[in-house]
Chain A
Amino acid sequence: MTKVPSYVYEELRDYCSRMARRGYVTAHGGNASIRSGDVMWITRHASSLEDLKLSDVIQVYVDKHSGFEALASTETIVHREIYLRTPNLAVLHAHPPYSVALSLFIDELVPPDAEGNYVLKSVPVVGGKPGSEELAVNVAEALRRGQAVVVRNHGVFTAAKFTDVAYQYMCMVEHSAEIAYLSMMLEASGMKKKRPNL
């Protein structure tokens, strides 16, 4: 069998389980990948990120197709497009609830919190069916301009040179979405918003 380097497996397992512990993925949702040259290692189709096994990491190519894509995540097409259009080396995809809920109502998430606003500035919301070419292009194009993107009614993709940084973006998007949601609730209850000091 093509050997998956142990550091790749350890790193994917670590960040996948962190996303699961935070409730960003449920059961068999979400996926993650790491790129090295023309190769990417991606989580298996329908694997459980909570408890990733070595056999759940599949090696496929960035610049060409291979039969192993039959085993890999449905979103391999999206990860590939991100790697082809951006210089990133790690991609995470999860379904954090506040981000997904807000994506049903907005076209752009402008983080209301200072840190999120400083780092992310604005996170676009795009459309596209899971596993489709359209989604792949929409997401990759958004990540050419920023660090994160929300797919409407679906989830969040983040990309970076390091998995740890992609994870940081993921947490920030969800944190900002949560703050945005809470702010809306408070506003709806009649409280008056003060001008934030961004």
Chain B
Amino acid sequence: MFGWCGEILVVDLSSMEAKRVEADRELLYGYMGGRGLGVKVLHDEVSPSADPFSPENILVFAVGPLTGTRVYTSGRYAVVGKSPLTEGCFYSSSGGFFGASLKKAGLDALVVRGRAERPALLVVDDRDVEFRDAAWLWGKGTRETRKELRRELKGFSVACIGPAGENLVRYACILNDVSNAAGRGGLGAVMGSKRLKAIAVRGSREVEVADEDVLDELMDKARNRFIWNPVLSKALSYYGTSALVNVINEHGILPTKNFQQGYFSMAEEISGEALRERILVRKSSCFNCPVGCKRITRVGELEGEGPEYETIGALGSMLAIGSIEEVAEINYLCNDLGLDTISTGVTVACAVELSERGIIGEKFRWGDSERVKGLVVDVAYRRGLGDKLAEGSKRFAESIGGGEYAMHVKRLELAMYDPRGAFGQGLGYATANRGGCHLNPYMVAVEIFGVPHLMDRFSAAGKASIVAYLQNLSAAVDSMVLCKFTMFEFDDEMYARFLSAVTGVEFTQETVVTVGERIWNLERIYNLKAGIGEDRLPERLLTPMEEGVCAGRNIPLGEMLKEYYRVRGWSEDGKPRREKLESLGLEVET
């Protein structure tokens, strides 16, 4: 088999058994791999009503046909499970080298079931699988865990959780390699509920490619196109994602003080320019990526990865912290504790606003970075108020009667673009199966960067079709698996050509997008069955801003949703119609 390995490793932590099973070809062709494969396995194995922390839930670490190949950005993996934060079907994707290592171990996916009796470490060394005791690692931060494991297991790529995952914080993440995070949705807490502290993988198998000559030609094209693209070769390469801070702020959509404003007067102090000037050590890259958007930074004695744009927004402007050094320190802390920085920042910002409004007794003020650091640790160990914040902004705010101040969609805290200045991004947030996610799709590319084409950010016209199309394409990209940043330059045709060259199976633009649409609809169906479906935005974001370049702009969400459901072939209340599902080959109960 070219591209794919044709094997899945199924591990049951309850019985400490592991077996390799053949991957069904129809499953691979129909869902590609990565996110798609994981979602299909989750759909087939885990009831939508299952408790995410029960042994019934699973985690699927999946790679795709392009993983580990010469195709740029091919080191990523997707991890899929039922989210303890949204309670829906959730995938999270991460870079680094872990994905490529899984592939080299001859796997398309690793499915983790059950729950270990004691903390466990799973070691996959090519075809050998071993369960080891991890009690000695339990309680340690991700930094030390990875250090210890690197010392003990030479040449392995490690994915692990920190105290936040162990303590079932609903937005705990999984970190692999040099602080690459499968950040969103709390899948780190699912790993914690299974008492799986870490997974170490090493492999020696090369991925077989069907047509090396065609792949050579495509790589030549890709090289030129990456150089030609200003976002990839200039901004991301030079500054990393933090290049966005000033740009987004100038467009009036940098969420500030819990989305009360879209402009942060101290943005310059937390910008990519400040990061480069004051704390940059060097840039770094995931497996086989010429862009290198990652940043290794240093503040005093501390050295770490980041902060990236989303983190800068969530831990900086959202909390009115105007110092790149302070933001980096909180970022290092979150990484070590194993917390999703976006959900952490947004949840803490919600607490600060509730304190300011006198809804909670604890006293917080904006810009108090020391207090934030203390709170972040309390969240990870579920101490005091931190225990409530560990439940996520919606559960926390509603429990004390301040639900309207939780900035989330479907319980997932919103990412760092105020949709009042990017209407398509607003539709994306409202309809994303993950919830308040900025990557499904990343409409900022279209509405701010003009890639592939600039659309009027304050208009609803044509947005529904583009959002639906890009959501489908994103799902496909997450399933091949490549980095979403490739979408700044590649189109469906380029992806199809890569897939055909690597797998020897003929992919067309249409099949690529159809695979994405199938995945999207399956996720939607699962979420509807789990009781999650309301496509909405927080009330605050449906009220125009009073100041700034976006003042007076009102997102016509209802109008866009109507059009979106029509484009998707769904009912007027957003349910996939039977004919649509049949046309996608989905035989599922609705």
Contacts and interface: CB of A to CB of B under 8 A. Distances in A.
B381 interface: no
A168 interface: no
Nearest to A45: B230
B243 A70 contact: yes
Nearest to B445: A70
B272 A46 contact: no
A73 to B, nearest CB: 7
B246 A74 contact: no
A89 interface: no
A46 B452 contact: yes
Given A46-B454, A67-B246, A74 B238 contact: no
Nearest to B229: A74
A77 B235 CA distance: 12
A113 interface: no
B235 A70 contact: yes
Contacts of B239: 65, 67
A51 B251 CA distance: 22
Interface string A124-136: 0000011110000
A128 B291 CA distance: 20
B399 interface: no
A197 interface: no
B549 A1 contact: yes
A179 interface: no
A46 B224 CA distance: 16
A132 B549 CA distance: 34
Contacts, number: 79
B475 interface: no
A55 interface: yes
Contacts of A71: 230, 247, 448-450
Contacts of B450: 44-47, 71
B453 interface: yes
B230 A55 contact: no
B251 A1 contact: yes
Nearest to B452: A46
A66 B549 contact: no
Given A2-B250, A67-B273, A74 B228 contact: yes
Q: Sort chain B's interface into a size bin.
A: 20 to 34
Contacts of A141: none
A70 B228 contact: no
A176 interface: no
Given A45-B451, A46-B452, A72 B230 contact: yes
Nearest to A2: B250
Interface in A104-119: none
B250 A131 contact: no
A76 B250 CA distance: 20
A69 interface: yes
A67 B230 contact: no
A67 B271 contact: yes
Contacts of A72: 230
A76 B452 CA distance: 18
Contacts of B135: none
B252 interface: yes
A162 interface: no
Contacts of A67: 235, 239, 242-247, 271-273
Nearest to A132: B227
Interface string A41-74: 0001111000000011000000001111111111
Contacts of A65: 234, 238-239
Contact of B227 (A1, A44, A130): A130
Label chain B's interface by main secondary structure: helix
A45 B453 CA distance: 9
Interface string B198-235: 00000000000000000000000000100111110111
Contacts of A129: 224, 227-228
B574 to A, nearest CB: 33
Contacts of A130: 224, 227-228
A55 B421 CA distance: 14
B236 interface: yes
Residue in B234, B450, B453 whose Cβ sees the most chain A Cβ within 10 Å: B234
A65 B243 CA distance: 10
Nearest to B272: A67
Contacts of A68: 246-247, 250
B285 to A, nearest CB: 18
B99 to A, nearest CB: 26
Contacts of A132: 227
B514 to A, nearest CB: 27
Contacts of A44: 450, 454
Contact of A76 (B227, B234, B453): B234
Interface string B288-316: 00000000000000000000000000000
A78 to B, nearest CB: 12
Nearest to B224: A129
A44 B450 CA distance: 8
Contacts of B271: 67
B454 A55 contact: yes
Nearest to A77: B234
B451 A46 contact: yes
Contacts of B228: 74, 129-131
Contacts of B233: 131
Interface in B229-288: 229-231, 233-236, 238-239, 242-247, 250-252, 271-273
Contacts of B246: 66-68
B305 to A, nearest CB: 19
A2 to B, nearest CB: 6
Nearest to A71: B449
Given A45-B449, A46-B454, A70 B230 contact: yes
Nearest to A133: B227
A76 B231 CA distance: 12
18 contacts: A1-B549, A45-B231, A46-B451, A46-B452, A65-B234, A65-B239, A67-B245, A68-B250, A69-B230, A70-B234, A71-B230, A73-B230, A74-B229, A74-B230, A76-B230, A76-B234, A129-B228, A131-B229
Given A2-B250, A68-B246, A72-B230, 20 more contacts: A1-B251, A44-B454, A47-B454, A55-B454, A56-B454, A67-B244, A67-B271, A67-B273, A68-B247, A68-B250, A69-B238, A70-B230, A70-B235, A70-B243, A73-B230, A76-B230, A76-B234, A129-B227, A129-B228, A130-B227
Closest 4 CB pairs of A and B: A70-B235, A67-B243, A131-B228, A69-B234
